[in-house]
Each structure stands twice: as C-alpha cells, then as structure tokens.
Amino acid sequence: MSDNPNKPHPKEMLQLLIERTKLLAYTNPADADDTEALGVLVSQWTEWDGAKIVEVFASALEDANYHTFRAKMLTLWELEEATTAEVRTQIARQAAEGSDPVQP
C-alpha cells in the first residue's frame, strides 16, 4: 500500500494491469496465473523483441540481487544471438546463391 492514499503503489498499479491482461488475453481468465499474465505484458510491451525481454529479465534479476545467475543468463543469451546471427547469414548467403535456404 502506498504511503499516500491518493497515489497507488506501483505494485498495486501493476496488479491492475495483470488483472486486465488476464481478461483480455485469456479465454478463461480465472485459470490464468499472475506470472503468466505478467509475461504477456512484458512480451507485448517489448513488442515481442527477445533482446528487450532479456533486458527486462536481467534488470529484474539484478534488482533481486541474483547477480551470478544474471551473468550466466546473459552469457547464454549472447550465445543464442550469435547462433541466430550465424543461421541468418547462412540463409542469406544461400538465398543470394539461389540455393535452398538452410532450415533454422
């Protein structure tokens, strides 16, 4: 609860957004979990951009003092980005050569 009764606490505001997301994004809102709905909010807010989603996740981990796990997760993300970039390069090269692209 906020110290100022006229100004809601950010957690309360977020809970309202979570509840609204459940109503709008799920067939059966009663079965939707708050964490899943928050994930939907993050995905939509970042416009389904994996790098931005990872950035939000990394910030949350840092705020919660999970520094070691955050570092490991970011290393894994860098590996994923490098692999994805390599596959995209192969597909572009094969498309330019007129051959069938590699399936990612």
The token pair that represents 85 in the structure block? 């970039």
Give the start-end residues of each E strand in 23-95.
Answer: none
Average pLDDT over residues 70-76: 98
Q: What is the mean pLDDT of residues 2-31?
A: 89
Tell me, yes or no, whether 91 and 64 share the same domain: yes
Pairwise CA distance, residues 6 & 85, whole Å? 49
**91 and 69 housed in the same domain:** yes
List pLDDT tens digits, range 41-56: 999 999 999 999 999 9
Indicate if 40 and 54 belong to the same structural domain: no
103 shares a domain with 68? yes
Whether residues 6 and 35 share a domain: the answer is yes
**Do 62 and 26 share a domain, yes or no?**
no
Sign of CA dihedral 34, 38, 44, 47: negative
Structure tokens of 1?
């609860």
Least confident segment among 4-8, 37-41, 75-79:
4-8
| Mean pLDDT over the full length of the chain | 91
Q: Are residues 103 and 55 in the same domain?
A: yes
pTM of the full predicted structure?
0.76
| Residue of 2 and 72 predicted with greater confidence | 72
Find the distance separating the first CA and the last CA of the chain, reported in whole Å. 48
pLDDT on residue 55: 98
11: exposed, middle or buried (Cβ count in 10 Å: 0-12, 13-18, 19+): exposed
One domain for residues 66 and 89:
yes
- Asked if residue 102 and residue 61 are part of one domain, the reply reads yes
> Is 54 within 8 Å of 77 (Cβ atoms)?
yes
> What is the extent of the structural domain holding 35?
1-45
